[in-house]
Each structure stands twice: as C-alpha cells, then as structure tokens.
C-alpha cells in the first residue's frame, strides 16, 4: 500500500516538475527585478533544465541583474508604446516564449515564496488559471480574487471570498 500511495503522489505531482516564470517590468525597478529572479532561483524543486526565467522589458534589465542575468532570458519589448507599459502585450509575449506548460506571470513588485512549488503541488494540477494568495512584505493581504461590475466601464473591484464565482 505504501509503495502504490507514493507512486500515486509522484504521478499527481509530476505535472509540477517544470515551470516557466515570466516577469513584466518597465526596467525602472532593477532591485525589484533582482529580488524576483533571486526568489525563483531559491525555490526548491527545480533544476536549471526544468526552470525558465523570462523577463519582458527593456534590454538594460539584463545588464542591471549583473551575475543573475545568466539565468534569465530577455523577451525584448518593442519600442511601440514603451512609455505606457503595454502590460497585456508583454504577458502575451511571455506566454509565447515559455517552454513549459506551467507558467507564472508576475509584475516586478512580487517575489515567489521558497515553498511555492510545494504549495502548488498540494493545490493540485487540475486548473486553468490560479490567482494565488498575495501578501505584502509586511504580511498585509492584497486583493487577489476580485470581481468587477458586469458592464465594461471603470468600477471599483469587489474582493471575493475564495471559492466564490462571479461571471
């Protein structure tokens, strides 16, 4: 029984063995980009063959990383609308550049916790999109599961309980 239970766990968690991690940045916060890359490298459970770190931003972001830059693939942003960020387009480019089915896309204000892989493995692989719990460096919760009004106009988001659904 113990052997088959272990095999079942290995099969369930095998999906989590390879990840692409993409970062959206405008390059104005090099220390934040460095913290993010360091947090990905510090995650247990991924070796270099099963980890891809992508950064979409200006080319200087790799230079700003110094020695950490060797672990990062630049997804170069075109100059069109660079001053406006064009965040949605950057996310699409990160998806297109990813090698692995599992993909995290984050902004340069985030870091990944060292236990990210263990937590996502406990969560399980039956999902299309996951919005993980977000906390600040001081431990304050941030809105991570929100809804907007049903119309397309600007509205204040409503913070939903986990498991709630809103179209």
Give the angle subtended at the CA of 139 by the CAs of 167 and 142, to the nearest 5°: 20
* pLDDT at residue 78 in the model: 74
Instruction: Specify the residue for token string 């290995």.
Output: 10
* pLDDT at residue 6 in the model: 41
Residues lower than pLDDT 50 in the chain: 1-12
* pLDDT at residue 8 in the model: 42
Instruction: Name residues whose C-beta falls within 8 Å of residue 150's C-beta, 6 or more positions apart in sequence.
Output: 167
Instruction: Name residues whose C-beta falls within 8 Å of residue 167's C-beta, 6 or more positions apart in sequence.
Output: 150
* pLDDT at residue 1 in the model: 31
Full-prediction pTM beyond 0.85? no
* pLDDT at residue 165 in the model: 76
* pLDDT at residue 161 in the model: 75
């Amino acid at each position: 029984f113990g052997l088959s239970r272990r095999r079942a766990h290995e099969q369930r968690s095998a999906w989590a063995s390879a990840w692409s991690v993409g970062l959206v940045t405008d390059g104005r916060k090099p220390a934040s980009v460095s913290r993010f890359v360091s947090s990905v490298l510090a995650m247990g459970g991924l070796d270099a063959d099963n980890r891809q770190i992508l950064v979409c931003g200006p080319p200087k972001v790799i230079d700003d990383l110094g020695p950490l830059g060797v672990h990062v693939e630049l997804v170069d942003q075109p100059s069109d609308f660079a001053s406006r960020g064009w965040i949605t387009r950057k996310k699409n480019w990160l998806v297109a550049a990813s090698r692995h089915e599992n993909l995290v896309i984050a902004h340069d204000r985030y870091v990944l916790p060292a236990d990210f892989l263990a937590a996502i493995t406990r969560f399980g692989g039956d999902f299309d999109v996951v919005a993980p719990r977000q906390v600040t460096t001081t431990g304050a919760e941030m809105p991570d599961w929100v809804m907007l009004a049903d119309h397309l106009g600007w509205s204040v988001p409503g913070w939903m309980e986990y498991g709630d659904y809103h179209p």
